[in-house]
Amino acid sequence: MELIVEIMENEKPRKKGLVLAEAYFDKYGRDMIKEGFEKYERYMAIGLVGEGSDCFGFDDAYSESHDFGPGFCIWLPDDIYRQIGAGLMEAYDNLPKTFENKRRVESLEGSGRVGVFSTQQFYRKYIGCSGAPQNNVEWLFAPETSLATVTNGKVFADHYGEFTKIRKDLLNFYPRDIHLKKLAARMAMMSQTGQYNYERCMKRKEYEAAYISCAEFIKNAVSIVYLLNKKYMPFYKWMFRGMDSLTVLGDVHPMLSQLAGLPDADADAGEKISLIEDVCVKVRDELARQDIISGTDSFLNNHARSVIAMISDEQIRNLPVMFDGK
């Protein structure tokens, strides 16, 4: 009976978190700002961006158990945040806790995802920079999944423009040298874990190592698909879900899903090895289509050095091929 009720609840039409957040802001946030902080409104950016399935638009009925519910973010320049941040946060905390029968339930790990923030501190928290990275080293060490986190969601309004400018600079994607470096690292890792080590581990009956090799291959294959789409990959929980919106190499998604679903058993080894090779061929063909590599060799590591050679920045070019600051 409980299972039937759960299924029925999940089938009910529900409002996505981003839509709920904007409606909550329209209902209560606008008046809060007008009544107590109107002269500072011109410095504010308002929206919902950051951690959580709702920010990616991936939320469902299961998401509502924690860190979900009415709420939004206000971002302010550092100097304005120092002046009014505490007072604005107090006013925010006094807003109604329940909206459209939804109440935000925060876990210890998920607290602080909504409310009032310094723009610079928000970006620094996730990518280590107070704005868009200013050089190749900063870009290299900005975590890939964190770049996805700070560019997701929706900005409802940005009166000052600072938050949106940084966001747009990040959405322009990696500089060419960093893009090439990350592609080369993924190619090398896909070759090492999938095309080389997986089969050897299976032949040795080292099934634990084979499992890890396959998982690393899948993770790097998903990442290279995002890179070839010039999109940032979300963290592991949502990396497959996010592939639904990618247009380049969309046919690789079901292949990787099939690979993940097959056990690392002797009876399935041949099929998994074949799938790994098929994925690498697809990636090779797309790399060639984008004029990043040439030739028909499907062993991706044999192309990685030529990609590294295309990097202009000597400091980045001379890093180990598999190194990635992610």
Q: How far is CA 207 from CA 50, 191, 212, 218, in A?
A: 38, 19, 9, 16
DSSP 249: T
* Whether the Cβ atoms of residue 144 and residue 223 lie closer than 8 Å to each other: yes
Q: What share of the chain is helix, strand, coil (3-state, %, to 5)?
A: 60, 5, 35
In angstroms, the Cα distances linking 78 to 1, 29, 39, 120, 279 are 54, 21, 16, 7, 47
Which tokens is 187 given? 């190619």
* Residue 141: burial class (beta carbons within 10 Å; 0-12, 13-18, 19+): middle
**Interval 270-303: pLDDT, tens:** 999 999 999 999 999 999 999 999 999 999 999 9
The length of the chain, given as a count of residues: 326
74 three-state secondary structure: strand
In Å, how far from its chain's centre is CA 298? 28
In this prediction, residues 153-169 reach a mean pLDDT of: 97
pTM of the model: 0.92
Structure-token pair, residue 202: 């299976």
Split at pLDDT 50, 70, 90, the class of 14 is: confident
Please name the CATH architecture into which domain 176-317 falls: Up-down Bundle (1.20)
**Residue range 115-126: mean pLDDT, rounded:** 97
Q: Other C-beta atoms within 10 Å of 261: how many? A: 8
- 214 touches 198 (CB < 8 A): yes
Mean pLDDT across the chain, nearest whole number?
Answer: 94
Q: Output DSSP code: residue 198.
A: I
Q: How far apart are CA 118 and CA 79, in angstroms?
A: 9
Q: How far apart are the C-alpha atoms of 90 and 104, rounded to whole Å?
A: 17
pLDDT of residue 10: 52
Per DSSP, which regions of 49-97 are E strands?
Answer: 73-76
Instruction: Tell me the pLDDT tens digit for each residue of 193-248.
Output: 999 999 999 999 999 999 999 999 999 999 999 999 999 999 999 999 999 999 99
Among 107, 103, 147, 108, smallest CA distance to 125 is for 147
Which pLDDT band, with edges at 50, 70 and 90, does 12 fall under? low
Give the amino acid at 87.
G
